[in-house]
Amino acid sequence: MTTHEQPALVLLVGVAGSGKSTVGRLLAERLGWAYRDADEFHSEADRAKMAAGHPLTDSDREPWLEAIGQWMDRAIAAGRRAVVTCSALKRAYRDTLLTGRPGVLLVYLRGSRELLESRLAGRDGHFFPADLLDSQLAVLQEPEPDERALVVEIDRSPEEIVAAVLAQMPGAPAGAPTVGDDSSASPGPTGDTWRLVRGDQSAVVVQLGGALREYAVSGRPLLDAFSAESAITGGRGQVLVPWPNRVGDGRYLFEGRSLQLPLTEVEKRNAIHGLLRWSLWQPLSRTDDSVLLGTRLCPQPGYPFLLDVRVEYRLDADGLRTAVRATNLGAEPAPYGVGQHPYLTVGTDFVDGAVLTVPARYRLLTDDRGLPVGREDVDGTPYDFRVARPIGDLRLDTAFTGLDRHPDGRAVVRLAHPSGPHGVDLWLGEGTRYVQVYTGDTLTESRRRRGVAVEPMSCPPDAFRSGTDLTVLRPGATHVLRWGLSPWGYS
């Protein structure tokens, strides 16, 4: 199956509770295809064994997988497109179903243990008891890059999951849903816009660079944003791919090749903030409170690699969630880093009075070009914000690392109003190892120190040259960066 060819079959896999059956039926309905559930191929003996609380062995599964594969072969031979769901927890099981069937697309539904447990607890009348979840997770082998699976998170409604699958599916049929913009007039300087609303929260996303323009709660802005009539300045809200921050002289070595990027911070002889800031991203799926945008980073001078890049913004009960995914579509490894550039505000005229918390043990030392020359422990320095304190007149354009994380894996940067009743947390999740904090001292006077840029980053500045925490995306591999905003004190 080529990159743009529609699959003959979709094999939808995941552990019990991931919603395979519900999502599979909806997906088949949207595509107008047949649907089969792998549970239909279990023998009565297998069903009884699982209902009694005993997991199946590999020998139990062999005839089951063989029966599924035979049905798939008959469907392909007859030209009958279908969605097939199956747990297929181990790589060997998936290989049995996929080997010799190149027209089958693998889709993996991924979710946390807590979410899976809650779903199984609420499911009645199914032969698979909830207490077998541990046995499934113990043997689960998530798809590897060479399996070229579409990976879709399940922490959303079935309709949203189906929309995400369709958005990523090669050769989407003409009847698949299209997504329009929310603009009632001709687009402004940042292209089309999408307004997200959930309860008292609202956000605006723009087409240029897939940037986040606004986020507000009860009408109170939590981003130092830009207007619909304005160009983007200072990197506000932009997605930074395939590197955040700077590459000194724009020149780097990768796997024996010397590569030269365009110098976009000319006065300091740096390449800054990646290659997609000024590209128009396309909408892939849309709900009232979410939008998924995508673009393709094609091979070019200085970066001869092919990436598919997507950013999803979603409002939930706790705030705004953002996920940036990049998949290497090329035939060779690609160097990769990612970040994003929101400016936070809590309603103060200047950032000086705002109270900042940064749970980081180290800061990077930089030269006059903003390139790292070392790092220091923040203990006893003006840069120690592990305990909340006002920013004052301190000038920050500083990368922090050594992040202290909560049990859920998140590190939280907090900006609070000096009177204390309200503020916003920016949490750093999967894929974040660094955070840049910038008080905007080099911006134009009208924007200077009006907001605090808190930038989630997967790697430090100049990672293309140093190799420090640089991601090497193998062909077919995907990197995910997650971050979000959680307001407090606004109810």
DSSP-assigned letters across all residues of 389-456? EE-TT---EEEEEEE---TTS-EEEEEE-TTSS-EEEEEE-TT--EEEEE--TTS-TTTTTSSEEEEE
Cα separation, 344 vs 225, in Å, equals 9
Check residue 370 and give its pLDDT.
Answer: 96
Q: Report whether pLDDT(175) > 50.
A: no
% of the chain surpassing 70 pLDDT: 92
Cβ atoms of 455 and 435 within 8 Å: the answer is yes
Cα separation, 264 vs 250, in Å, equals 9
Cβ atoms of 237 and 212 within 8 Å: the answer is yes
Cβ atoms of 245 and 345 within 8 Å: the answer is no
Both tokens of 199, joined, read: 């309860």
Q: Report whether pLDDT(278) > 90.
A: yes
Cβ atoms of 34 and 28 within 8 Å: the answer is yes
Q: Which residue, among 462, 452, 455, 408, has the nearest Cα to 433 in the 3D structure?
A: 455
Cα separation, 172 vs 166, in Å, equals 7
Check residue 186 and give its pLDDT.
Answer: 55
CA atoms 47, 49, 53, 59: torsion sign: negative
Higher pLDDT, 202 or 113: 202
Q: Report whether pLDDT(136) > 70.
A: yes
Q: Which residue, among 407, 412, 415, 387, has the nearest Cα to 483 in the 3D structure?
A: 412
Rounded to 5 degrees, what are φ and ψ at 264?
-105, -5
Structure confidence at residue 131 as a pLDDT band (50, 70, 90): low
Neighbouring-strand partners of residue 198: 201
Structure confidence at residue 124 as a pLDDT band (50, 70, 90): low
| Cβ partners under 8 Å of residue 245, min gap 6 | 272, 273, 339, 370, 399, 436, 455, 457, 460, 461, 462
Neighbouring-strand partners of residue 82: 9, 34
> For 407-465, what is each residue's pLDDT tens digit?
999 999 999 999 978 999 999 999 999 999 999 999 998 889 999 999 999 999 999 99
- Count the Cβ atoms, other than its own, within 10 Å of residue 144: 13
Segment 42-48 mean pLDDT: 75
Secondary structure letter of residue 275 according to DSSP: S
Secondary structure letter of residue 303 according to DSSP: B
Both tokens of 66, joined, read: 């063989």
Name residue 383's amino acid: Y
Angle at 248 between CA 309 and CA 378, to 5 degrees: 90
Cα separation, 206 vs 214, in Å, equals 9
CA atoms 452, 456, 459, 465: torsion sign: negative
Q: Which residue has the tokens 């009645």?
A: 124
Q: Report whether pLDDT(132) > 90.
A: no
Cβ atoms of 135 and 94 within 8 Å: the answer is no
Q: Report whether pLDDT(123) > 70.
A: no
Check residue 57 and give its pLDDT.
Answer: 78
Segment 165-169 mean pLDDT: 83
- Helices 158-168 and 20-31 pack at an angle, to 10 degrees, of 60
Check residue 187 and give its pLDDT.
Answer: 66
Q: Which residue, among 247, 224, 223, has the nearest Cα to 319 in the 3D structure?
A: 223
463 class by beta-carbon count within 10 Å (0-12 exposed, 13-18 middle, 19+ buried): buried
Segment 94-103 mean pLDDT: 92
Segment 248-274 mean pLDDT: 97
Cα separation, 187 vs 194, in Å, equals 11
Q: Report whether pLDDT(393) > 60.
A: yes
Segment 165-191 mean pLDDT: 64
